[in-house]
Amino acid sequence: MRYLCTVCGRDYELSTLLWRCDCGGILDLIPVPMTLADIDSRGSGVWRYANLLPPVPPEDRLVLGEQMTPLIDRSDLGVRLKLDYLLPSGSYKDRGACVLVSRLRHLGVKEIVLDSSGNAGAAISTYCAAGSIGSRVFVPAGNSPGKLAQIAAVGARLEPVPGLRTDAAAAAMAAAADTFYASHNWHPDFIAGLASVGWEIWEQLGRRVPSSILAPCGNGGIILGLSRAFDALVRGGLIEAAPRIVAVQSEAFDSIADAMERGLQEPQPRSHGHTLAEGIACELPVRGPQVLAALRASEGLAIAVTEAQIRDAVLSLASSGVYVEPTAAVGLAGVTGLRARGLDAMLGDDPVVVLTGSGLKSGRTVADLGSPDWWPDV
Ligand SMILES: [Zn+2]
């Protein structure tokens, strides 16, 4: 396994400490085939698939009790739900954070900076806390207080930045001049960890893939993780083809849905105001062309959903016992959106929705969702 620059084609040893190519290009990990021998049947969490990840010796692997998250059949909702909000910091980002921070620890990094809409910052600073690595996290100032409190509580230095997600990213990159920029959007080790969600789904279905997988899409890390997972399974001959991957965005930040609809190779910046789904309030994804290519390779699609559909999805899930944040609920809102457009066939007969973040992260936002006649004043 090596890093490969997507712009100039230069490759690097995995022992090289860097987050992008010297030319400024985005780095990828070279694709790998997966065999059954690569699965550590006694392992849990991302380390179950350690053979398929950038190497970390067992003594440097951070472990916070990660398990294979449940995949539950909710025929009442017409989908299976992958409960990734049950990971240690309350979001799927732990998959990437666990691998990235363990790798940085292995490479001797003592301090990092990063930017985040909230969940990645919470995940990475949580694993930094476990690994005694200092962290400084730049976040959009208006994001959920629950996420900001979580980042601060685990000991990270919190740097609220006025403006959009992209403003927080610019501030973090400027601060990275004298320390390491552990960006979950740039660093390929983070995406390598996210691939584990795809391998888990495949194992949990008895080593087969579902008809489709719907997931929220801001920068598109989970889309790229799923794509890497199924690519490895195809290369290893364990499946014939990837399931259809469906990226779900908010209408307020719909650069991927727009580019898919217009047949573009590169998304254009798009933002049209506020969304409940703060975790995907991304004007222009860092790896946009790759996200588009991943969706097309799976014969997938992208859909933008309305704020009303997001709200309904949050409340529908909550009232059936599944408490997730609005960003996480957009996957189910995507099902509603496809049905409303007469595109049910795209889901197939066995869709999976990945639920990415806990409702406990965004209590204030959820409290503000309610309808005036029955919702308590909280
Ligand atoms: Zn390069």
DSSP H/E element including 200 = helix 196-204
Ligand 1 centroid from CA 29, angstroms: 13
Max Cα–Cα distance, the chain, nearest Å:
61
Ligand 1 centroid from CA 4, angstroms: 8
Ligand 1 centroid from CA 289, angstroms: 16
Span(s) in the chain for CATH 3.40.50.1100? 71-90+189-367, 93-187
Ligand 1 centroid from CA 18, angstroms: 12
Ligand 1 centroid from CA 148, angstroms: 34
The pLDDT score that the predictor gives to residue 40 is 97
Beta carbons within 10 angstroms of residue 176's beta carbon = 19
C-alpha–C-alpha distance, residues 363 and 64, integer Å: 24
The pLDDT score that the predictor gives to residue 373 is 57
Ligand 1 centroid from CA 366, angstroms: 43
The pLDDT score that the predictor gives to residue 18 is 92
Q: Class of 93-187 per CATH?
A: alpha beta
Residues with CB under 5 A from ligand 1 (ion): 5, 7-8, 10, 21, 23, 25
Ligand 1 centroid from CA 352, angstroms: 36
Q: Class of 71-90+189-367 per CATH?
A: alpha beta
Residue 356: which of 216, 243, 254 has the closest Cα?
216
C-alpha–C-alpha distance, residues 360 and 90, integer Å: 8
Per-residue pLDDT 10s for the chain (378 aa) are 999 999 999 999 999 999 999 999 999 999 999 999 999 999 999 999 999 999 999 999 999 999 999 999 999 999 999 999 999 999 999 999 999 999 999 999 999 999 987 899 999 999 999 999 999 999 888 777 888 889 999 999 999 898 877 888 889 988 888 789 999 999 999 999 999 999 999 999 999 999 999 999 999 999 999 999 999 999 999 999 999 999 999 999 999 999 999 999 999 999 998 999 989 999 999 999 999 999 999 999 999 999 999 999 999 999 999 999 999 999 999 999 999 999 999 999 999 999 999 999 888 888 888 754 555 555
Burial group, residue 246, by CB count within 10 angstroms (0-12, 13-18, 19+): buried
Ligand 1 centroid from CA 5, angstroms: 5
Ligand 1 centroid from CA 6, angstroms: 7
Ligand 1 centroid from CA 20, angstroms: 8
Encoded tokens for 98:
């666990």
The pLDDT score that the predictor gives to residue 117 is 73
**Residue 132 backbone phi and psi in degrees, to 5:** 55, 45
C-alpha–C-alpha distance, residues 29 and 229, integer Å: 12
Ligand 1 centroid from CA 28, angstroms: 11
Residue 247: which of 284, 199, 314, 298 has the closest Cα?
298
Residues 6+ apart with CB under 8 A from 331: 214, 215, 216, 248, 313, 353, 354, 355, 356
The pLDDT score that the predictor gives to residue 204 is 98
